[in-house]
Amino acid sequence: MKYFLYWGCSLEASGANYLKSLKPVCKKLGIEFEEIEDWNCCGASVSYVGAKDFTIKVLNARNLALAEKTASYDIVAPCSSCYVQMNRANHEIQENESIRNLINNILAKAGLEYNGTLRVRHIQDILFNDVGIKRIRDAVIKPLNGLKVAGYVGCQSVRPYGEYDSVERPKVQDKIIEALGAEPVKFPKKMQCCGSGIFFPEMELCLGLVKDILEDAISHGAKIISTICPMCAMNLEMYQTRINKIYGTHIEIPVVYLTQLIAVAFGMDLKKEAVLHMNFIPPEYVMKHIR
Amino acid sequence: MVIDAMLQYNSTVAIDIFKDVEFVEEIKKCIQCGMCAGSCPLKHHMDYPPRKIFALLRAGKKATILKSKSIFLCTSCYSCKVRCPRGIPVMDIMHSLAYYATKLSMESSKNTSTFGKVFWKQIYKRGRIDEKALLREYLFSNGFIQGLKNTLDMADMGLIMLLHGRMKLLPEGKLKSLKEFKVMLEEAENVGESI
C-alpha cells in the first residue's frame, strides 16, 4: 500500500507528535508514504478572510498537480484542514470543467497541470478501509485494557463529505479505539467544533467551546481524549490551565493523537515512537495504570 | 426585523448589491428554517446568526451585514452546510461576506480579519505557514507596546511548546519554487475577481 503523504504546516510544528507517531504506526501496518515534492500550505481554516475561494482552490490545485506529475497514489492528509481544503478543490476540479480550465491556465504559469485523476483521503479512512480493523487488532501487543477513551472527531475530518464515515454519528475512530482493547466512551459533544482556525483571534469565545467539550468527555467517564486533527489537539490540550483560571474549574485530562494510542498498543517505544513526552499533559500515567 | 426584511425582499436587488460575494445567488433557495443557526457552535455570540444574515441579504441591508460581527465568527465546522435542507453552502457565503467586508475595511472587529491577513502574508512569504511567525505577527499587529503585552500574556504557552518540541526556534522551511508560486497566486487573485 503506497500513498502520498501531505502532512502540511502544523505537523512540522505544533502537531509534530502526530507526524512522529503516524509514521512508525503506518510502517508497521505495511503502509508506504511518499512526500509531495515542494508542497505548499492548503489555506487551512482562516484563509477565507484574505482571499476568494477561487484562490484557495488554486493553492490546493498546485499540490494536486505536483502529486499527479509523480505518481497515481491516493493522497493521505492527516490534518483535517489539509484534508478538507484539498478534497474540496479536488472535487470542484473533477466535477466542474470551467473551473478546471481556469485553474489549469493559472497552473500553466508554473509549468503545471492537474487532470483530476487523484483521490484525497483522511488517515482514518486509510486505517479503517484499506488496512482494516482486523489487521490493526492483530498488530496489538499491549492492549489498552479498560482505558476509557473519548474519541473526539470534531468537524473537518468527516464534514462536509462524509466519504468514509457518518457526518452526524461517526463510528470509525471508536472502532479503531476498540480494536486497541480500549473502551470508547459516548459523549454528545464528540462532533462539536473546538474553534479550529479562529481559536487564536477569538480565544475568549472559543475557550468556552473547549471547556464544554472537555467537561462533556470527563463527565462521561473518559480518562484520556484522542484526536485526529492538529488544531483539535492543540485547542483541547494547551488551554486547560487557562480555562481553569477563567471558569474556576478543575479540568485536567490528557489529549493524544489516535496514532499515539495505536503506537502504545502496538508495544512501540513510548518515547521514540509514541512520543508521549511531547504532550503537554503527561499521558504516561494513564497508560501505565492500564498495564 | 426579519419580517421587515422579508417585506422588502427583492432577490434581484440583493444579488446586484452583493454581486462580488461568491455563492450569493444561492440565498434564493433559503426557506428561513434556522437549521444553520441552530447548528452553529458560536451562535450565542452572534448578533445575526446565518439565518438572519440571509434575511438581511435579501433585503439588501449591506452595511448591517458587513458590520456584523457574526460573519467573522465562522469556525469552518461545516455543520450548517451539511445540515441545510436546501443544500445552500451557508458556510461559503459567510466566508465570502467576511472577505468582502475585509476588502471594504468594514469589519466591526479586527481580530479574525487581521489574523486572516497575516496568514496570507505568511503564504506569500514562504508558501507555508510558520506558526510562531504567524502568531508573533498577529500579536504585534496593534503596535509594539501592545505586542509586548500580548506576548507576555502568551509567554507561558510558548515556553511549554518549546520544551515539548512542538515549536522550533529556527524558522520553518520555504518553498523551492516560491517565485513561480507567487506569480500563480497573483494571477489567481486577478482571475478570481473577474469570475
pLDDT value, residue B8: 53
Residue B90 sits in the same domain as residue B182: no
Q: To which residue does cell 506576548 refer? A: B151
B173 chain-A contacts, CB cut-off 8 A: 12
pLDDT value, residue B12: 62
Q: Answer left, alpha or beta for residue B78, where phi above 0 means left and psi between -120 and 50 means alpha.
A: left
Separation of alpha carbons B193 and A51, rounded Å: 10
C-alpha closest to that of B93 among B103, B105, B78: B78
In the predicted model, residues of chain A with pLDDT beneath 50 are none
**pLDDT tens-digit profile of B20-41?**
788 888 988 999 999 999 999 9
Tell me whether strands A224-227 and A255-257 are parallel, antiparallel or unpaired: parallel
Under 8 Å between Cβ of A254 and A238: no
- Taking CA atoms, A43 is separated from A132, A250, B64, B128, B129, in Å, by 31, 35, 28, 9, 9
- Answer whether residue B9 shows pLDDT above 80: no
Separation of alpha carbons A8 and B151, rounded Å: 26
Residue B46 sits in the same domain as residue B97: yes
Separation of alpha carbons B42 and A203, rounded Å: 12
Residue B80 sits in the same domain as residue B122: no
Residue B78 sits in the same domain as residue B138: no
- Please indicate whether, in this complex, the C-beta atoms of B96 and A278 are within 8 angstroms of each other: no
Q: Answer left, alpha or beta for residue B64, where phi above 0 means left and psi between -120 and 50 means alpha.
A: alpha
- Range of the structural domain that residue B83 is part of: 2-103
Residue B62 sits in the same domain as residue B153: no
pLDDT value, residue B109: 87
Q: Where in chain A is the domain with CATH 1.20.1050.140?
A: 2-123
- Answer whether residue B3 shows pLDDT above 90: no
pLDDT value, residue B21: 84
Residue B120 sits in the same domain as residue B96: no
pLDDT value, residue A3: 98
Q: Where in chain A is the domain with CATH 3.40.50.11810?
A: 141-290
Residue B8 sits in the same domain as residue B95: yes
Residue B117 sits in the same domain as residue B97: no
Residue B80 sits in the same domain as residue B120: no
Residue B134 sits in the same domain as residue B57: no
- Residue where one domain finishes, among candidates B103, B123, B157: B103
Under 8 Å between Cβ of A283 and A276: yes
pLDDT value, residue B58: 86
- Residue where one domain finishes, among candidates B44, B79, B103: B103
Whether the model pTM is above 0.90: yes
- Answer whether residue B94 shows pLDDT above 90: yes
Residue in B with minimal Cα distance to A85: B76
- Please indicate whether, in this complex, the C-beta atoms of B114 and A206 are within 8 angstroms of each other: no
C-alpha closest to that of B191 among A22, A61, A270: A61
**pLDDT tens-digit profile of B60-70?**
898 999 999 99
Q: Mean pLDDT over residues B170-192, rounded? A: 94
Residue B78 sits in the same domain as residue B171: no
- Please indicate whether, in this complex, the C-beta atoms of A209 and B172 are within 8 angstroms of each other: no
- Residue where one domain finishes, among candidates B34, B69, B103: B103
Select from 3.30.450.40, 3.90.25.10, 3.40.50.11810, 3.40.50.12780 the CATH code of A141-290.
Answer: 3.40.50.11810
> Is B25 buried (19+), middle (13-18) or exposed (0-12) by CB count in 10 A?
middle
Judge: domain A2-123, CATH 3.30.70.120: no
B183 compared with A288, residue with greater pLDDT: B183
pLDDT value, residue B2: 53
Grouping H, G, I as helix, E, B as strand and the rest as coil, residue B1 is coil
ipTM for the predicted complex: 0.93
Overall number of domains in chain B: 2
**pLDDT tens-digit profile of A89-126?**
999 999 999 999 999 999 999 999 999 999 999 999 99
- Answer whether residue B4 shows pLDDT above 60: no
- Please indicate whether, in this complex, the C-beta atoms of A155 and B181 are within 8 angstroms of each other: no
Residue in A with minimal Cα distance to B107: A49
Residue in A with minimal Cα distance to B70: A202
Residue B94 sits in the same domain as residue B137: no
